[in-house]
Amino acid sequence: MAYYSTSEFRGGMKIMLDGDPYAIIENEFVKPGKGQAFNRVKVRNLKTGRVVERTFKSGDTAEAADVHDTQMQYLYNDGELWHFMDPASFEQLTADANAVGEAAKWIKEQDMCNVTLYNGAPLSVDPPNFVTLLITDTDPGLKGDTSGGGGKPATLETGAVVRVPLFVQSGELIKVDTRTGEYVSRVKE
Amino acid sequence: MLQAIRRFFAARGVLEVETPIASRAAASDPALDSLSTRWHGPGGAAGLPLYLQTSPEFPMKRLLAAGCGPIYQACKVFRNGERGRFHHPEFSLLEWYRPGWDHRRLMGEVADLVRCVLDAPGLAVEEVSYRDLFRERLQLDPWHADLGDLCRAAADHGIGGVDGLGLSPDGWLDLLLTHCLEAGLGRGCMTFVYDYPPSQAALARVRPGPEPAGERFELYLDGLELANGYHELTEAEEQRRRFAWDLQWRAAAGRHCPPADEAFLAALDAGMPAAAGVALGLDRLLMIKTGSTHIDQVLAFPVERA
C-alpha cells in the first residue's frame, strides 16, 4: 500500500480518509514559530462531491487511493446503466446513475468522457467540456432579434434544458459548456 | 525597509552586529529543524557538521554576556521542512536585545519599529495575555484544560480529523491558536499576545507564582505572526535542563539531535545580563507593507527556483 506524507500532498492527489476516496484540492502549511506544524488540507469526497477540510500534523501520512482517470467512449444506455468502452483495449464497463450524475444530461453515444475509476469501478463521469447537441424544442424567436437579452429555454436531444438567445431555432446544433451549463454558440453542420 | 530599520536603531543607540550563520551547534527546540552542511579543513578533516542558524539567538546572547549593550542584527536564517504561503526555508530575521528591559517594555519598541517601517504612525496596539485570549474567545483556560477539553474544543470549532491527531496539550493549544484564533488577531491594529504557559516558554524566563507564566510575547498583524520575544532566561542551570529536555524529546521522536551550544551555556555561566529580546520576520513584514498574499511575492527566487 502506498502512503503519501503531508509534504507530498498537492492538488489533484487522491487519498483515502475514513474509508472513502478523496481528492486533495488545497494543502496549506500552518505553523506557529515555536510550536507544532500542521497541514490544513481541503479535500473533496469523490463519492459525494462534498468538500471538507482536514488537519494533519506535518509529517503524517495518508494512504493513497486507487483512483485514476481514464478516457472512455460512451456507448449506450440500457435504461438503467451507462456503458463505456476503453478505445484502446475495447474493454467495456458500466456505470450507474450515481457515478454518471450530471454527465447524463450532456453525453450522447460515441462521446469521449473522462471516467474516474476507484478500485477498477467507475466512481464518476465527466462529460467533455464542450458538447454539440441538437435543439429538439424551443419557442420560435421574435423576428428581427439578432442578439437578445435574456434568451429563452431550449430542450436538447439529451433532455437537458439550456438558455439560448432568441434567434436560435429548433433543429439547430449548438455548442454548450458542460461545466457551466451555458450556451456558447451555434454550430454549422 | 532595511534603511528605515538601520535609521531606527541608530537613533536609539542600538549597535548593529553580525554573527556566524553556520555554527557547530544548533537550536534544540522541538519545533525547529536545522539545515546542515559539512566543513572540510583544519580541525575538520573528516568533515565537521556545521548547522545553519535557525536564529542568531545564541551568539547574540554571547555578545550580551560579553557586555556589548543593546544590539540588533538583520540576517538570513534557515528552517528545514517549512514551506507554505507564509513559510520559506530561508528567510530574513530582524533580532534585537535590550539589556535591563522586560518583555512588556520591549513590546512597546517593537510596535514603534513596525509603525516606522510601515510608515503608519497611527497604528494602534492591543495587548492580550495568552490566557485571556483563550478564555475570552474559546472559553478555555489553557493552564487548566485537560486533553479531553482541548480535543472537544477543536472538534466544536469544526476542525476536521481531530480524532487521528493524538496531540500533546501544547499541540492542541497550537492547533486551536492556528486554526481558530490567529486569523482574527491584528485586525486593524497590532495585537501582542503575552505571558505563555510555562511549557511554551521556549527561551523565556518563567515568572514564578501560584500560576507561573512564561514571559514571552508574540506580535500579530493582519492575522500573521510577525515576531516572537522573550524576557530572556539567563540562568545557566535552567537553560541546561531545557536543552536536556529538548534533546530527550527529539531522541524519543526519532529526530536529529544536534550538539547543544556549549559556548552559549558557558556565556550564561559567566553571567548574561537580564535582557529582553525579540525576533521579527522581515519577509512577512514586507508582505504586509506591499499587500502580498504569498511569501513568494517578496522573494526574488523562491527555493523551487533557487
B117 neighbors B219 (Cβ within 8 angstroms): no
Confidence of residue B32 (pLDDT cuts 50, 70, 90): very high
Per-residue pLDDT tens digits for B45-71: 888 999 999 999 999 999 999 999 999
Annotated domain spans of chain A: 3-63, 67-126, 130-187
Q: Diameter of chain A by CA atoms?
A: 72
Q: How many helices (H) and strands (E) does chain A have?
A: 1, 16
A63 at interface of B, judged by CB pairs closer than 8 A = no
| Cell numbers 537553560: residue | B239
The whole-number pLDDT of residue A128 equals 92
The one-character DSSP state at B260 is: P
* Class of CATH domain A67-126: mainly beta
Per-residue pLDDT tens digits for B208-252: 999 999 999 999 999 999 999 999 999 999 999 999 999 999 999
Measured at the CA of A138, the angle between CA A133 and CA A141, to 5 degrees, comes to: 120
Residues forming a β-bridge with A187: A173
C-alpha atoms less than 13 angstroms from C-alpha of B104 in its C-beta half-sphere: 6
B203 neighbors B230 (Cβ within 8 angstroms): yes
- Measure CB to CB from residue B175 to each of A34, A55, A59 and give the nearest one: A55
Position A143 pLDDT exceeds 80: no
ipTM above 0.85, yes or no: yes
Residues above pLDDT 90, as percent of chain B: 93
User: Average pLDDT of B78-92?
Assistant: 95
Write the CATH number of the domain with boundaries A130-187.
2.40.50.140
- The closest alpha carbon to B195, from B217, B177, B180, B224, belongs to B217
Nearest-angstrom CA–CA distance, A97 and A85:
17
Calculate the average pLDDT of chain A. 90
State which residue of chain B sits closest to A27, comparing Cα positions: B84
The whole-number pLDDT of residue A49 equals 85
SS3 B73: strand
Query: Mutating which of B178, B179, B215 best tests the A interface, going by the most A Cβ atoms within 10 A?
Result: B178
Tell me whether domains A67-126 and A130-187 share a fold: yes
> Which segment of A70-74, A168-172, B162-166, B269-273 scores lowest on mean pLDDT?
B162-166
Per-residue pLDDT tens digits for B123-142: 999 999 999 999 999 999 99
How far is residue A71 from each of residues A23, A24, A114, B172, measured CA to CA in Å? 18, 21, 5, 45
Query: Mutating which of A34, A51, A60 best tests the B interface, going by the most B Cβ atoms within 10 A?
Result: A34
A23 neighbors A46 (Cβ within 8 angstroms): yes
A99 neighbors A123 (Cβ within 8 angstroms): yes
The whole-number pLDDT of residue B164 equals 84
> Which segment of A37-51, A105-119, A139-153, B136-150 scores lowest on mean pLDDT?
A139-153
Per-residue pLDDT tens digits for A100-135: 988 999 998 999 999 999 988 899 899 999 999 999
- Measure CB to CB from residue B174 to each of A36, A40, A53 and give the nearest one: A36
A68 at interface of B, judged by CB pairs closer than 8 A = no
- The closest alpha carbon to B229, from B257, B205, B247, belongs to B205
Domains annotated on chain B, with CATH: 2-124+188-305 (3.30.930.10)
Residues of chain A neighbouring B171 (CB-CB closer than 8 A):
35-36, 57
Q: Does domain A3-63 have CATH number 2.30.30.30?
A: yes
The one-character DSSP state at B78 is: E
How far is residue A111 from each of residues A121, A144, A156, A159, measured CA to CA in Å? 19, 35, 16, 16
User: Average pLDDT of B25-45?
Assistant: 91
State which residue of chain A sits closest to B162, comparing Cα positions: A55
Q: Give the sheet arrangement for strand A130-138, strand by strand.
A: A161-164, A152-156, A130-138, A173-177, A182-187
The whole-number pLDDT of residue A142 equals 62
B90 neighbors B83 (Cβ within 8 angstroms): no
Helices (H), chain B: 2-11, 57-65, 103-118, 130-138, 147-156, 169-176, 236-252, 262-270, 282-290
Contact B200 A58 (CB under 8 A): no
A32 at interface of B, judged by CB pairs closer than 8 A = yes
The whole-number pLDDT of residue A147 equals 57
- The closest alpha carbon to B179, from A163, A33, A39, A80, belongs to A39
